[in-house]
Amino acid sequence: MSDNAHSSPRGETLLDEIVPARAPWEHVLRRGESLRIIDLEGNQSADFLLYALHDDAERYSAQDTIAAQRNVYLRTGSVLLSNEGRPLARIIATTVARHDTIGGACSCESNTLRYGHHTKSQHACADNFLYSNARYGRGKRDMVSNINWFMNVPVEQDGTLGIVDGISAPGLYVELLAEMDLVAVISNCPQINNPCNAFNPTPLRVIITGPGRIAACSPRS
């Protein structure tokens, strides 16, 4: 069941900023802090990864998360597990019925395969993830299967997947509570070839709340 769309994030506001359309975003999220991602204009897909701050060999695992909850969709109460089977974060509130775990991130290669060679030069989520992860010394081998907040990927009875019109709307959100110190990475999806964001990439708003001071990013040297 979804939560009140007009509820305020819990605790002291530590960060409140806009992620421009098509842009990457990353930030440290300390244990006990909450991250709210708001779909400002509706039907915008937010591709998402999590890495343990102190040892980023531990990171979000779609396989462990799906297996543990016996469901491919994420809802309020879902726990995001790492590749070591430990809780990274859990969803404490969402005003969207479900979120996708299996649609993956768009890339120049997948765009070319799905939509034609003319799309190869188009900006993609893989580019955004590489840009953000490079600040921490991570590369292509560190990109794993991601979450797609707000994205609608129905699974048909025969197992077929579809990417269809979103089920989000302006102002709807998802909010996570960090269970350990993390680096959260967002690609505000730049896809313009399928309905995941109504063919129109738009901004997101991110709010971090919790006790203490703002957690500054600490990229590796």
What pLDDT does residue 109 have? 75
List, for residues 35-80, the tens digit of each pLDDT value.
999 999 999 999 999 999 999 999 999 999 999 999 999 999 999 9
- H or E element at residue 48: strand 46-52
Q: Which residues pair with 43 in a beta bridge?
A: none
Residue with tokens 């297996």: 67
Is a pLDDT exceeding 70 seen at residue 24? yes
Residue ranges of domains in the chain: 13-209
List, for residues 183-211, the tens digit of each pLDDT value.
999 999 988 777 777 788 999 999 999 97
| CB 176, CB 80: distance < 8 Å | yes
170: Cβ–Cβ under 8 A, 6 or more apart, which residues? Answer: 39, 40, 41, 42
Q: Quote the pTM value.
A: 0.88
